[in-house]
Structure 1
Amino acid sequence: MSQQHQSSKDVLDRRTLAGDHRRLAELLRPGQSVLDVGCGTGSITAGIAQAVQPGGEVLGLDRDADLLARAAARFAGRAGLSFACGDVLAFDAEARFDVVTAARALQWVPRLDEALARMVRAARPGGLVVVLDYSHERLRWDPEPPASMRRFYAAFLAWRAGLGMDNALADNLAGRFAAHGLEAVRVTDQDERFRRGDPGFGAALDIWLHVIDGCGPAMISAGALTEREQGEARRDYAGFCRDAAEGLVMVLRAVEGTKPGG
């Protein structure tokens, strides 16, 4: 999903099933069939394929052909793993998969209920739907970033909301799951917490530089941001990351539910 993945390809490449979709890793079993929506460069998807062997299979779905080409090249020949280029909103499979999952992808989907309906439809009766995503409204830096970055972030949230994206997705998923008929809905805290000196601290902070670079042009085109504001936010935030940032918390929840009828 091109719009969905604003992080760099390198950020996506570094992700793993065990480290970045921990609740799903606990749920997978050999022999299962899995659909991974918004699979990006396939790093987590490849971990899923390994976890469901022997006998399992995973299909990674993404609408970004460049990301999929990277995934196919990296994981060519991996047992039980295939990729398809397509949008979840047009994905038409009924009762096919034991597990349907999306990690950090639905945050970029404006027509969220349509996407969830497609995901539920793709799950077999008794199958699991597992979504991992953020609540952008509850992001916390320690200390607060510079004023230019705070202004950018407020504009970012407003721009997203104007496009129909859910800035509190992690907090709203359980209710949405229930509304789509899923049962035994469970929410697991998967918050990403970093302190200076921790492994991955710099990379976590840098995600927001990728957001400034990746979303900034679209925000400017929409009138939500000026080029000057984008440049100031990037400059000041880069300095903050280098010299002042001590902590970052990104609120992240794994929400799972069972499709009735199994």
Structure 2
Amino acid sequence: MSQSPVKPDPVAYLDTAAATSVGRDYKRRLLGALDVRAGQTVLDIGCGPGTDLGQLADAVTADGSVVGIDHDPGMLAEASRRLAGRSNVEVRDGDAHDLPLGDASVDRARVDRVLQHLADPGRAVAEARRVLRPGGVFAMAEPDWDTLTVADEDVRTSRGVARFVAGTVRNATVGRQLVHLSARAGLRVRSVEAIAVVFRDFGEADRILRLDRLSAAAVRAGELTEAEVRAWLHRLANGPFLAGFTFYLVTAEA
């Protein structure tokens, strides 16, 4: 087991996650649920390096517009670079808790794996409600890390690492709370989809779940022993592998 695995580059991590079969599938479903149409204005809250802005720009056509909001300077710079040739895409510095947009100014809004990291997810959902026009649609995609399981004969270590993974996320169970947050913000929930995210390849799972790095951190925190984790990782890397968690897609209407 590596004692101090290298922390992944955040842009590379997001690109890797989006390129997996799981990432491609749920993003396709989320775009379909958002029901973007030509000429509309679409908001991507927490757009990151611009992963999804191009597809949104294609959907609204040249008659529409896409606004990507993020607070991270590195993400904004990368998104601006990637979308430089798109005249109908604007990338802005902004906070999901206080969107730099007027009331009832967008037709569609989306948030993808962002609420899990925010100080106040409820406020962010309320802000999305504020900027949506009547009848506008808000699409949300968030994991529930409390449902993470890793199959292994050492159930105690699997549970320990899963709990540690969940403990590294500010709002680990926000996926299951999306319906409640939407209702509290005055949105009408249109659809709820629970997706079983399943990994059969250890390498892919490790890149997304960071099992090596986080299990090493669990050892340093004294929650697991190095011997237990070393044996656990060896079995996962060399035997049949299975891990998974639940991912929620929720769409709501203003």
- Give the TM bin, normalised by the shorter chain: 0.7 to 0.9
**Aligned partners of 1:234 and 1:90: how far apart in 2?**
42
Task: Please tell me the residue identity of whatever aligns with 2:208.
Answer: I
**Kept after mapping to 2: 8 A contact 1:38/1:102:** yes
Runs of 5+ consecutive residues of structure 2 not aligned to the other structure: 1-7
Report the aligned-residue RMSD. 3.2
Equivalent residue, structure 2, for 1:202: 203
**Kept after mapping to 1: 8 A contact 2:150/2:243:** yes
TM score, norm. by length of structure 2 = 0.79
Q: Give 1 or 2 for the bigger CA radius of gyration.
A: 2
Matches within 5 A, 1:133-212: 133-143=142-152, 150-158=159-167, 160=169, 165-196=170-201, 202-209=203-210, 212=213
**Percent of residue pairs bearing the same amino acid type:** 26
**Kept after mapping to 2: 8 A contact 1:191/1:251:** yes
**Aligned partners of 2:213 and 2:224: how far apart in 1?**
7
Please point out which of 73, 78, 84 is paired with 1:65: 73
3-state SS, counterpart of residue 136 of structure 1:
strand
C-alpha distance 249-96 of structure 1, shift in aligned 2 (>3 A): same
**Kept after mapping to 2: 8 A contact 1:132/1:252:** yes
Task: Please tell me the residue identity of whatever aligns with 1:21.
Answer: K
**Aligned partners of 1:227 and 1:65: how far apart in 2?**
31
**Aligned partners of 2:189 and 2:244: how far apart in 1?**
28
C-alpha distance 212-87 of structure 1, shift in aligned 2 (>3 A): farther
**Aligned partners of 1:145 and 1:46: how far apart in 2?**
44
TM score, norm. by length of structure 1 = 0.77
Q: Give aligned pairs, total.
A: 239
Equivalent residue, structure 2, for 1:3: none
CA shift, 1:19, in A, is: 3.5
CA shift, 1:54, in A, is: 3.4
C-alpha distance 129-145 of structure 1, shift in aligned 2 (>3 A): farther
Which range moves more in the overlay, 250-259 or 237-246?
A: 237-246
Matches within 5 A, 1:34-49: 34-49=42-57
Equivalent residue, structure 2, for 1:24: 30
Matches within 5 A, 1:230-249: 232=226, 239-244=234-239, 246-249=241-244
Write out per-residue CA displacement over residues 169-223 of structure 1, whole angstroms, 9 at most, x where no aligned residue: 2212112211211114310233322323xxxx6333322228946xx9xxx8xxx
CA shift, 1:43, in A, is: 1.1
Equivalent residue, structure 2, for 1:75: 83
3-state SS, counterpart of residue 255 of structure 1:
strand
Matches within 5 A, 1:111-130: 111-130=120-139
Runs of 5+ consecutive residues of structure 1 not aligned to the other structure: 1-5
